[in-house]
Structure 1
């Protein structure tokens, strides 16, 4: 992140060194700059700037090495549900690690936490989604879901049903296939991507404040395009459609009302599996453990989950699969090779599963989802008041996922001028003790689900001031 004041230095020992390393040992910031390749690193400045060294966290706040406190309006990375430093969660993790830290999940071996968590997820998931395939995170869960779709059809003598529909601006993860499914232009660089069987429909975002189309007109446009693409490829060649209910990392893009159900019905009509990517929208961020049915009235063939499943305390992902899909796969498995050859060394990791079980217990006991349904509208109401500021192009979101889009007043979108303006907003926020997620010309917000009204007020007050100051810089030619 950009910063206006250097609060990143690692203090180490009293003389600025680290024990046992000598007087010329680098600080943590220097070591990071020299040795760590960060996710989504800016390679043009590699090694020139050190990262913010976050050292402690409690509730909705984190603290850097110098002791400066920040309200974390990012929620880690969309994943913080019950807040940082929860002693119950930490104790559950420690207890399981002491009892049994790990054992192989392959074949006919399981652990008590994995078995109990699979049962709990089946209870929380809609319809007949009763079978759980554990992974290491959202990316591997997405990859596994598509492989399951491929296996499902191939085992039934339809190997040609392998094409996958996704959307522009979607984000589904960082593995080869998950990145290929993602549709964010900014992420496409010198890597290779699967283009033979992956197809991207238009971005489904609809902003009623800026669009010339009504929600009904936009929905008709999107569904017509989907039907046309299915006709072009042939439904007999399409395995699945994968969709975030609300596009998160692509810019908190909300489709027009009825879009989720309309696309689900199109998939049902054409025999295409529907994969709901709830890595972000699941586990309370929209006020429900899963939003697919509770918010959008659909029962997907598979739900992908991760992030909030453990409140970020441990890495874990899962694909929750319908009984119909599993029964068809089981019955059609080849006699000479009936093995489902997909999984990971850390699938169903007992410590991670113990964390997820305790996280769900805390969320249910403390009514976290109900709290989000109460605080979410207030959060968005206060955010939307920022639309009156000159450098705010629009504000969009749903409950505790939202963003503010910045612009100079000329061409909207992620051009150099608008991105520089958003970076200045981010810098002023950080200076004032607020962490937002800068992406292109956006300030993205996804605070921990335990955020209070007072926290919301602090977020909006700091962000408002940062937007005003950045606007003044723009007007004075300081950008």
Structure 2
């Protein structure tokens, strides 16, 4: 396998220069991109991708939490091509539909928990969460509760990148001062990260603290003003935060007590990543009022998202005789080619028993990653099936972080990339979300490559006087 080299790519690849001149990326880091360009990917098969120079990488990031069934599936390509030939587009508004969109909505209603029987199709995760927010406003107005509009979410969450969804999320690294955010109706409570629990609380004490804080926030705003609580079952981009046991049941109970809608943002956790189609009920014991999903819905073969909601909401907004219109939609929602990809994706997950496979290989990943806790730099390892994170610290005892300029997550990621492994650096974290088809041997490759990179980085930082080995 060739050794990846950004320097070579910058010096000799005209596509790198074209990229730097014309392509503005999501989360574009201007100075870094100007100097280094980007890693240009041209092919993918299964859990592997290749760049323009033939370098092959095990993609332990799964694209962006999304290449669930793996890349390059011929039957998916054929299904998409057949649908393009038959019907490439259909107007999704008002009194028009298409057969595959209907079939997909019916299938999602069957897979979703409880009475979440109604589906609004979107173009991705951000637009699914945006739709949920608008649906909540509409529902409360239809109920005659125009003041019940405040939203509670969690610090360091990620719910999307529209102005609204970035405001609902409150991830520090995303809150750059050059953007504006909405504040009036959006509020936040603590990140439920046991590793960072205040005052050395044990898990039970931390749980009580989180629940009490949530109730205090509701009461301070006035329960008649609070419309909904937004939460990822496991916080993904915020660092794979697995809350204390019982957290969601108790938060849900407070929502029931105070007539607050519970919105589960399952854009990452749905369609197999945790060994279930949806995680909220099966793994965390709650039936939400609304579920948002995307990513694994099509395994990223085409863009598609969905906002799935309850009969309770439908009965209010669709009350007969009111003459109402839900004036919200997207040109490409319900796109027949995207819906075909979703149906084929679900078929593959079911036929190949990938949920059962994830429970097996995900358990193995959990076990193997824990072995990294013994290494220098590693403060915490968090993993639930195929969502994983390694958190790096400058001091294990105090849990103190490295200074931002050390760029610890990127240092380790760069070493891994040079060895043919992609992990996702987020400040002091390396995050992983490999495809559902990953094997035990590939898990071993991920863990052992990371192990080497962490050890090498600790030596490097020690030599630079940036790490004392505590």
Give the alignment's TM-score, normalised by structure 1.
0.93
Is contact 1:412–1:418 with CA below 8 Å preserved after alignment? no
Say yes or no: does 1:200 pair with 2:188: yes
Corresponding residue SS for 2:49: strand
- List gaps (5 residues or longer) in structure 2: none
Determine the structure 1 residue equivalent to 2:205: 217
Q: Distance in 1 between matches of 2:224 and 2:174?
A: 31
Aligned residue in 1 for 2:330: 344
Q: Does 1:395 align with 2:381?
A: yes
Q: Secondary structure at the match of 2:64?
A: helix
Cα gap change, 1:183 to 1:414, in 2 (>3 Å): farther
* 2:244 corresponds to: 256
Which residue of structure 1 aligns with residue 442 of structure 2?
A: 455
Deviation at 1:334, TM superposition (A): 4.2
Alignment of 1:7-86 (within 5 A): 9=9, 27-86=14-73
Match of 1:404 in 2: 390
Q: Which residue of the other structure, out of 424, 427, 430, is the alignment partner of 1:440?
A: 427
Structure 1 residue 332: Cα displacement = 7.4
How big is the alpha-carbon RMSD for the aligned residues of Structure 1 and Structure 2? 2.0
- 1:472 is paired with a residue whose SS is helix
SS at match of 2:117: strand
**Residue 10 and residue 349 in structure 1: after superposition, are their counterparts in 2 closer, same or farther (change >3 A)?**
farther
Question: Number of matched residues?
Answer: 462
Is the aligned partner of 1:427 residue 2:421?
no
Cα displacement string for residues 117-148 of structure 1 (whole angstroms, at most 9, x for unaligned residues): 00000010001001000000000000100111
Mapped to 1, the partners of 2:206 and 2:57 lie a distance apart of 40
CA spacing shift, 1:412–1:29, aligned 2, 3 Å? farther
- Does the 8 A contact of 1:406 with 1:418 survive in 2? no
Counterpart of 2:355 in structure 1 is 369
How big is the shift at 1:407? 2.2
Structure-2 separation of matches of 1:7 and 1:290: 43
Distance 1:279 1:264 in 2: 19
Q: Distance in 2 between matches of 1:166 and 1:196?
A: 13
User: Distance between the aligned counterparts of 1:288 and 1:96, measured in 2?
Assistant: 28
In the other structure, the counterpart of 1:476 is 463
Give the distance between the partners of 1:358 and 1:283, measured in 2 at CA. Answer: 13
| Superimposed CA distance per residue, residues 9-45 of structure 1 (whole angstroms, 9 cap, x where no aligned partner) | 399xxxx7xxxxxxxxx71111111111111111333
What is the CA distance between 1:209 and its match in structure 2? 11
Q: Which residue of 1 aligns with 2:223?
A: 235
Question: What is the DSSP-based 3-state SS (H/G/I as helix, E as strand, rest coil) of the residue aligned with 1:28?
Answer: helix
1:405 offset after TM fit, Å?
1.0
Which secondary structure state, in structure 2, belongs to the residue aligned with residue 170 of structure 1? coil
| TM-score of the pair, normalised by structure 2 | 0.95
Contact persistence 2:197–2:206 (CA under 8 A):
no
**CA separation of 1:216 and 1:155: change in aligned 2, threshold 3 A:** same
Provide the rounded CA distance (Å) in 2 between the counterparts of 1:444 and 1:4. 20
Indicate whether 1:187 and 2:140 are aligned.
Answer: no
SS at match of 1:9: helix
Alignment of 1:102-117 (within 5 A): 102-117=89-104
Residue 213 of structure 1 deviates from its aligned partner by 2.0
Structure 2 Cα separation of the partners of residues 219 and 429 of structure 1: 36
Matched-pair contact (CA < 8 Å) for 1:8–1:52? no
Q: Aligned partners of 2:8 and 2:132: how far apart in 1?
A: 40
Partner of 2:140: 153
Query: Where do 5+ consecutive residues of structure 1 fail to align?
Result: 17-25
For 2:290, the equivalent position in structure 1 comes to 302
- Name the CA distance, whole Å, in 1 between partners of 2:374 and 2:156: 26
Aligned residues of 2:153 and 2:231 also touching (Cα < 8 A): yes
Matching residue of 1:20: none
1:413/1:117 Cα in 2 relative to 1: closer, same or farther (>3 Å)?
A: farther
Question: Distance in 1 between the 2:441 and 2:38 partners?
Answer: 29
Instruction: For 1:210 and 1:465, locate their aligned partners in 2 and report how far apart those are by CA, in whole Å.
Output: 32
Contact 2:249–2:285 (CA under 8 A) maintained in structure 1: yes
Secondary structure, counterpart of 1:314 in structure 2: coil
Question: Do the aligned residues in 1 keep the contact of 2:194 with 2:203 (CA within 8 Å)?
Answer: yes
Residues in 1 aligned to 2:91 and 2:60: alpha-carbon distance in whole angstroms: 37
In the TM superposition, what is the alpha-carbon distance from 1:65 to its structure 2 partner? 0.6
Aligned residue number for residue 140 of structure 1: 127
The CA distance in 2 between the partners of 1:31 and 1:333, in whole Å, is: 57
Tell me: CA distance 1:333–1:156, structure 2 relative to 1, closer, same or farther (3 Å).
farther
Query: CA shift at 1:466, angstroms?
Result: 0.5
Question: How many angstroms apart in 2 are the aligned matches of 1:298 and 1:418?
Answer: 41
Question: Aligned partners of 2:370 and 2:198: how far apart in 1?
Answer: 14
